[in-house]
Structure 1
Amino acid sequence: MKFFYNILYYFQKRGFEVCRRIAERFGIRARIVRTSFIYLTFATLGFGFALYLFLAFWLKIKDLLYTKRTSVFDL
């Protein structure tokens, strides 16, 4: 049972980062974004999940390219 909770905790911590960032961008709750991805996935037979993976990949690449530096000496 502990193994299941460890997996659940990992996905809650890492997997919902996309929903949280989208929610912050639009000024809505992350729960609403998560629920919409779930409904979209069931309604379109997997398109919502594919969209979620695409956004996760895109946000990861964006974070790697646009890092915030505090000063000039961080280069």
Structure 2
Amino acid sequence: MIQRIFVFFERYSFGVCSYLGEKFNISSSKIRLFFIYTSFLAVGFPLVFYFLAAFTLDIRNYIKKARMKYWDI
């Protein structure tokens, strides 16, 4: 059951933890734990940061895809 939950979150997550892990050369599981623990301590403020980062990364990927389509023509 726990494994299915992990697979669900890894498949449908926004890629924020993996992006930050690649940037700072840290394991993405450690970053996930950091977000979870600080969310409990800071009453959800890191979740706001997480969703803003997810939104920013989504827009960034969308712009990159649109730019590639434009130059492929």
TM-score range, shorter chain: 0.7 to 0.9
**1: distance between equivalents of 2:12 and 2:21?**
15
TM-score, structure 2 as length reference:
0.76
Q: 1:47, CA displacement in angstroms?
A: 0.5
Q: Percent identity?
A: 31
Structure 1 runs of 4+ off > 3 angstroms? none
Q: Structure 2 residue aligned with 1:55, among 53, 56, 59?
A: 53
Q: Distance in 2 between matches of 1:10 and 1:17?
A: 13
1:16 offset after TM fit, Å? 5.6
Structure whose residues are more often helix by fraction: 2
Structure 1, gaps ≥5 residues long: none
Pair 1:22 & 2:20 matched: yes
User: Over residues 9-60 of structure 1, what are the superposed CA-to-partner deviations in whole Å (9 max), with x where a residue is unaligned?
Assistant: 3322121621011101111100111011011111110101111111100100
RMSD: 2.1
Q: Structure 1 length as normaliser, TM-score?
A: 0.74
* Number of residue pairs aligned between Structure 1 and Structure 2: 68
Task: Report the Cα distance in structure 2 between the residues aligned to 1:10 and 1:56, rounded to whole angstroms.
Answer: 17
